[in-house]
Structure 1
Amino acid sequence: MKLKLALLATIALVAMPSYLMAQERGGVINVATVGEPPTLDPMTSTADLVGIVTQHIFETLYTFDAKWNVTPLLAESLPEISADGKTYTIKLRDGIKFHDGSDMTSEDVVASLNRWTKLASRGKQAAEFIETITATDPATVTIQLKQSYAPLASLLAFNNSAAIILPAEKQADVMTDFVGTGPYTLKERKADQYIQLQRFDGYKSREGESDGYGGARHQYLDEIRFVPVPDPNTRVEAAVSGQYDYIDALPVESFDRLKSAQATQPLVLKPFGYPIFVFNTAEGNVKNVEIRRAIRQALSMEDMLAAAFGSTDFYALDGNIYPSNFAWSTDAGVEGNYNIADPEGAKEAATAAGYDGKPIRILTSRQYEFHYKMAQVAAEYLKLAGFAVDLQVVDWATLTQRRADKGLWDIYITHSPFLPEPALIGSLSPSSPGWWNTPARNAAVAAFSSEVDPEKRLKLWADVQKAMYDEVPYMKIGDFNGVSSKSTKLEGVEASPWPYFWNASVTK
């Protein structure tokens, strides 16, 4: 899919650095994040915040380059795949050390991948297709599949529900010893204050040029400190004043202030991704697909986007899961099922479906202010449609904990970047909060996942999108651009969905 998935140059999500001068070694940076990550174990969480922090501590066999192609990280090269697509032979790089000083071998990789298939939602997704994972020799791992599974390499590359490699003796279900192979180690964590990382002197970078998340990873900085700043307005003021070196997830209405500030400069990722309303298909009011369809019928995606992002400079009304400049773009299932804004018709549909008047529990957070604004608009439309609404506004860490409990919510609001492989979309996994697991889902996703021919996969993805619109496990609201900012003294950092700082430096 390399050629099929290549993005237009104007939307490359992870750009090569634009500066030419040598970067200086040393220094400490402070990164303002939307909040406290619920865990530092990226296998067990799909929260972007977890991936942003932990990608500096832990590494995977593969990652993504600047054009979103899978590229080796801890693996020596791309996997050798048998003609029938069932056998993946993975050669490992030599000389890789863990933070505890031990050498990485195939034994560690096998133990880690087994933990991934047991605990991670995306690992469980892959486990359905995996027969065995074995250490062929100290530097080689073989994955034997029950049938061909095209998304495997992308799943192994993703930093979200990530297949990180840990020492074989540190595979407890609950991680308490955070030992990876990454360029930075965990020095100290003070809850709700900071997560402090320091340079790992035993790190072995890949050679060559940096290339998105791939290629060389430089360790110019002595330390990286991630600081939770939950209030978006506080993050804006901190950006303008230069209090932090990098500030993530800023409200789009702050762009003009950031542009005119002296200490900082805005970074815009266009397009970043799409907001999502995820339904609880396992328990509660919205387990009934007709209720989910009635909720969708009531809502105005256009009004929610306008409330969340203001100007169309920062959003686009689009029901296709992927926008038109992606090879995956299809309008299958969209017509008549997107931006309907018909609360009166929705009221009739909900009554016919047996809606009993119990509140629809919407779980959201103000740390991503656009989530909260969309929730407010949605609540008003649902009330017009006769639904009772319980809008629960919590911090992001609490949201990620509550969404794992089937009894606590009906809808939660999140967002996703446009991912290079649709199988990476979290809601496609039956183990992901939302728990979409129906015959239609299983048939469509299995056909898509087992096909290796690029042209056929494009058509089969259209079938998956149609099933998503038919059964409404979640709703895409539209496309949006992301805004963050960085200090004018910070080099080596570009706009990206999961900002990384191993190539960052501070000018003296």
Structure 2
Amino acid sequence: MKKMALLAATSVIAFLSVNAAQAQTKGGVIDVATIGEPPTLDPMASTADLVGIITQHIFETLYTFDAKWGATPLLAAGLPAISEDGKTYTIPLRTGIKFHDGSVMTAADVVASLERWTRIATRGKQAGEVITGITATDDATVTITLSKPYAPLVALLSLNNAAAIVIPAANAAQDPLESFIGTGPYKLQERVPDQYIQLVRFDDYQSLGGEPNGYGGARNQYLDEIRFVPVPDPSTRIGVAVSGQYDYVDQLPVESFEQVSGGATEPVVLAPFGWPVFMMNTKEGLNADVRVRKAIQAALAPEDMMLAAFGSPDFFSVEAAWYPESFVWHSNEGTDAYKPTGDTEAAKALLAEAGYDGTPLRILTSRQYEFHYKMALVAQAYLEAAGFKVQMDVVEWATLTKNRADPALWDIYITHSPFLPEPSLMGLMSDTSPGWWATDAKHAAVEAFNAESDPARRAQLFVDVQKVIYDEVPGYKVGNFNALAAQSPDLDGVTPAPWPYFWNAYVTAQ
């Protein structure tokens, strides 16, 4: 009988324990099927999950997330010492850590890396708005000073996309990054575009001690090699999952669960995984007008969109709150504008008020995430019923991540995210993230939320953030969904997680 690995939510998404019944053996090569070719291997330069999934094996950050989604040290030797006024973070560093080129990491590398992060990464720019200085106190200590208290800082330093990776200081001036040298358990051996990205064990890697703990704790290098292979067509991914051609297949359409269950691999379900979202271009074009965005919000019918995308209510829920009930951030306040079946007449009235002239509404999407495309088709029908002329721009995912950076090319782009442990990690919380939402109302709500350190008070303040999101519509959350992957029965030690990782993984049949 096939085993289902289920990732369930408690107060936050929790990790399953690794099955330790099998003897952990060293050696072996695994092939991982991904949704496509990553647009870059520079995790600072992209918020794409695919980039983070691959590059987290190559590069590391000062902190990462443990099994309960708390920040835990990775390249740092401990959590930061925070001054009484909340504006100075003193970070101790682990010593003797080697880069893939054999050089030893020092505070100078960390300073140069964090300065690059604040310069080019969307989340780094977000933090950079309050960072006044990054200095090396000594070779093993870095001090970050802020203009005001900023509660999300450590979470921002922990995330694996738009990531605050540590690289050699000599490489930190590169933009784009040309030398992919990190401290991670695996190093880049070869990249053949559209064929594979080959990572091999870094023999001088220094793992943390103890047991694995989410993304933190011990990172054991049992595998000799990991190959990430782009398989952009969803039907092909289903086929290779059923046949067992790959050791792990990511991002399968959830309606293929029964089909995968009857094949050579085992289904892996993450429930709930996250939310799909229609991001609005608030900078220029049609959606620079909040009345048009409100018309879109009124027109869309999330119930039909989610049903088309995921097939069965077993794999989704129609919910307006940005976080489900299992999260401390959950609230239904301010969500009245979310109509499960849409409100075409209200949308028509808003569109007339905006003086809509028939300019095409451009929806940028991809079929590599098939559920994005299916939602787009349903959205198109409802938007056209409300009076919009809709232009569908369907591209490869790598092209989408490139095009969304240009506000002249789109009005809506479709993406998704796992439920993030810290709301300030959400892309729309950053003024510089594609969508470019930056208003006085947003700043008032977000800055109050970010300045508060008390967890209970922060949960209350997030309600105000959610209200502004629904009032100004920088993005439209469609609902909550589960995710499906597939894993070979000969691959063990993989902890189901939103961004799958393969340190601690090993093969049981070689």
Q: TM-score range by the shorter chain?
A: over 0.9
What displacement does 1:331 show?
1.2
- Answer yes or no: is the 8 Å Cα contact 1:272–1:480 preserved in 2: yes
Kindly provide the amino acid, as one letter, of the partner of residue 421 in structure 1: E
Which of 175, 178, 190 in structure 2 is aligned with 1:176?
178
Q: Aligned-pair distance for 1:13?
A: 4.0
Distance in 2 between the 1:13 and 1:183 partners? 24
Among 199, 202, 210, the residue aligned to 1:200: 202
Deviation at 1:380, TM superposition (A): 0.4
| Residue equivalent to 1:4 | none
Q: Note if contact 2:196-2:229 (Cα within 8 Å) is conserved in structure 1.
A: yes
Q: For residue 380 of structure 2, what is the aligned residue in structure 1?
A: 379
Instruction: Return the alpha-carbon distance in structure 2 between the equivalents of residues 16 and 132 of structure 1.
Output: 40
Task: Work out whether residues 12 and 69 of structure 2, in 8 Å CA contact, stay in contact via their aligned partners in 1.
Answer: no
2:261 maps to 259
1:282 corresponding residue in structure 2: 283
Give the SS at the match of 1:169.
helix
Q: How far is the alpha carbon of 1:336 from its aligned partner? A: 3.3
In the TM superposition, what are the counterparts of 1:315-330 in structure 2 within 5 Å? 315-330=316-331
Q: CA deviation at 1:68?
A: 0.2
Structure 2 partner of 1:303 = 304
Distance 1:241 1:453 in 2: 51
**Counterpart residue identity of residue 430, structure 1:** D
**How far off its partner does 1:427 sit?**
1.1
Q: Which amino acid aligns with 2:213?
A: D
Aligned to 1:489: 490
Q: Deviations over 1:366-404 (max 9, x none)?
A: 100100000000000011111000011111000000000
Once the 2 structures are TM-superposed, how far is the Cα of residue 160 of structure 1 from its aligned partner? 1.1
Q: Deviations over 1:220-244 (max 9, x none)?
A: 0000000000000000000000000
Provide the rounded CA distance (Å) in 2 between the counterparts of 1:356 and 1:60.
48
Change in CA separation of 1:8 and 1:286 when aligned onto 2, cut-off 3 Å: closer
Which has the higher mean CA deviation after the structures are superposed, 210-219 or 252-261?
252-261
1:9 positional shift: 4.7
CA-based RMSD:
1.1
Instruction: Measure the CA separation in 2 of the matches of 1:311 and 1:377.
Output: 16
2:215: which partner in 1? 213
Q: How does 1:61-210 map to 2 (within 5 A)?
A: 61-171=62-172, 172-210=174-212
Residues 365 and 394, structure 1, Cα contact 8 Å, conserved in 2: yes
The amino acid that maps onto 1:270 is: A
Cα shift readout 1:330-372 (whole Å, capped 9, x = no counterpart): 1121023343512233122201111110110000111001000
| Alpha carbons of structure 1 residues 151 and 10: separation in structure 2 relative to 1, 3 Å | closer
Aligned to 1:3: none
1:407-428 Cα offsets, whole Å, 9 max, x none, are 0000000001000000000111
Q: 1:85-123: CA deviations, max 9, x gaps?
A: 111110000110000000000000000000000000000
What residue in structure 1 maps to residue 400 of structure 2? 399
CA distance in 2, matches of 1:71, 1:79: 10
Helix, strand or coil at the partner of 2:364: strand
Deviation at 1:8, TM superposition (A): 4.7
Check if 1:39 corresponds to 2:37: no
AA of the residue aligned to 1:74: L
Whether 1:271 aligns to 2:272 is yes
Q: Is the 8 A contact 1:13 1:269 kept in 2?
A: no
- Given that residues 11 and 328 in structure 2 are in contact (C-alpha distance below 8 angstroms), is that contact kept between their aligned partners in structure 1? no
Structure 1 residue 495 displacement after superposition: 1.9
* d(CA) in 2 for partners of 1:282, 1:13: 37
Residues 366, 372 of structure 1: 8 Å contact kept: yes
Aligned equivalents of 2:146, 2:261: Cα separation in 1? 51
Residue pair 2:189, 2:198 contacting (<8 A) in 1 also: yes
Q: Distance in 2 between matches of 1:49 and 1:366?
A: 15
Segments ≥4 residues shifted beyond 6 Å: none
TM-score by length of 2: 0.97
Are the equivalent residues in 1 in contact too, given 2:123–2:430 (CA < 8 A)?
Answer: yes
Q: Report the residue type matching 1:258 in the other structure.
A: V
Note the C-alpha offset of 1:11.
6.7
- 1:13, 1:495 within 8 Å by CA — same for their partners in 2? no
Q: Name 2:449's counterpart in structure 1.
A: 448
- CA–CA distance in structure 1, aligned partners of residues 135 and 16 of structure 2: 36
Contact 1:16 1:66 in 2 (8 A): no
1:444-483 map, 5 Å: 444-483=445-484
Paired letter, 2:231: V
Aligned to 2:59: 58
How far the C-alpha of 1:309 sits from its partner, in A, is 0.5
Q: Counterpart of 1:286 in 2: which secondary structure?
A: helix
Q: Which residue of 1 aligns with 2:249?
A: 247
Matched, 1:337 2:338: yes
1:430 maps onto 2:396 in alignment: no
CA contact (8 A) 2:276 2:477 kept: yes
Question: Are 1:297 and 1:340, in contact at CA under 8 Å, matched by a contact in 2?
Answer: no
Percent identity (aligned) = 62
> C-alpha separation between the residues in 1 aligned to 2:487 and 2:23?
19
Q: Which moved more, 1:288-297 or 1:17-26?
A: 17-26
The one-letter code of the counterpart of 1:193 is Q
Cα displacement string for residues 232-276 of structure 1 (whole angstroms, at most 9, x for unaligned residues) = 000000000000000000001110011122x20000000000000
Q: Is the 8 A contact 1:16 1:210 kept in 2?
A: no
Distance change in 2, residues 1:155/1:232 (3 Å): same
Distance 1:176 1:8 in 2: 39
Distance 2:125 2:337 in 1: 34
Name the structure 2 match of 1:231.
Answer: 233
**What's the CA shift for 1:19?**
2.6
SS of the residue corresponding to residue 484 of structure 1 reads strand
AA at the equivalent of 1:226: F
Please give the alpha-carbon distance, in whole angstroms, between the structure 2 residues aligned to 1:11 and 1:492. Answer: 22
Give the Å deviation of 1:144: 0.9
8 Å CA contact 2:36–2:232 kept in 1: the answer is yes
Aligned length: 501
Asked whether the 8 Å contact 1:58–1:164 carries over to 2, the reply is yes
Compare 229-238 and 21-30 and name the one that shifted more: 21-30
Contact conserved, 1:11 with 1:271, CA < 8 A, in 2? no
| SS of residue matched to 1:427 | helix
**1:482 corresponds to which letter in structure 2?**
A
Question: What is the CA distance between 1:215 and its match in structure 2?
Answer: 0.1
| 8 Å Cα contact 2:152-2:450 kept in structure 1 | yes
Q: Is the 8 A contact 2:11 2:326 kept in 1?
A: no
Contact 2:337 2:470 in 1 (8 A): no
Question: Is the CA contact 1:88–1:143 (under 8 Å) kept in the aligned structure 2?
Answer: yes
User: Structure 2: which 5+ runs fail to align?
Assistant: 1-7
Measure how far apart 1:18 and its partner are.
2.4
